[in-house]
Chains A and B, each alone.
Chain A
């Protein structure tokens, strides 16, 4: 079964450093997402991306965050200057269509900011 893959699985970074989390969505999917989950807390929506632009974003997704689809397969989340509170599991997801469609999640990238 096709799956969403994410790299790295775990990254430790120093506060203030830039981090790029990478994702390869399912190949025929058109909608891409990033979610995050702080340890012990609920999953939170960050951003959705369609047709090479952001379609929705949450309040969490401030100027420190950006997303990009640099080629036909990768979808990246960049955090420009990491803060301690950015430590979380970041999930990439994709779907073929939007409303009412199944969203497939990757296994996550665990980011630890020290």
Chain B
């Protein structure tokens, strides 16, 4: 199974950018990279996804390394509402394979 590695937790100050890293060295050519987040007691929420090129949407940006073995989720200006567990997931063989995620703590 394609796997991802993320730091267990990260802290950031409110209104500052946040860079959440993810390693996926076993990624295969057709695996999409997805990011979801989960707030306490809620279902996972889609953030962004990409294949090879960097992606931007209203929530975040996704920077994908040229060799695709790592990626970084960028929250441009973190707010307290962005405090959640962020999951970097490979869409592999038509299944989302979840890791433990990164708990993002936002300090006011």
Contact = CB atoms under 8 A, between A and B. Distances in A.
Contact of B94 (A56, A91, A105, A106): A56
A108 B43 contact: yes
A65 interface: no
A106 B43 CA distance: 6
Nearest to B38: A43
Nearest to A33: B96
Contact of A42 (B30, B32, B91, B101): B101
A102 B46 contact: yes
A99 B96 CA distance: 10
B32 A45 contact: no
A22 B53 CA distance: 37
A80 interface: no
A98 B94 contact: yes
A75 to B, nearest CB: 15
Contacts of A99: 30, 32, 91, 94
Interface string A45-77: 100100000011010000000000000000000
A4 B91 CA distance: 20
Interface residues of B, number: 23
Contact of A45 (B30, B46, B97, B101): B97
A100 B51 contact: yes
Contact of B95 (A48, A91, A105): A48
A25 to B, nearest CB: 13
Given A99-B94, A106-B43, A107-B42, 9 more contacts: A35-B96, A42-B99, A44-B98, A99-B32, A100-B32, A103-B34, A105-B44, A105-B45, A105-B46
B93 A45 contact: no
7 contacts: A42-B99, A43-B96, A45-B97, A48-B94, A98-B94, A105-B44, A108-B42
Contacts of B36: 105
Interface string B64-86: 00000000000000000000000
Contacts of A96: none
The CB with the most chain B CB atoms within 10 A, among A43, A48, A58, A107, is that of A43
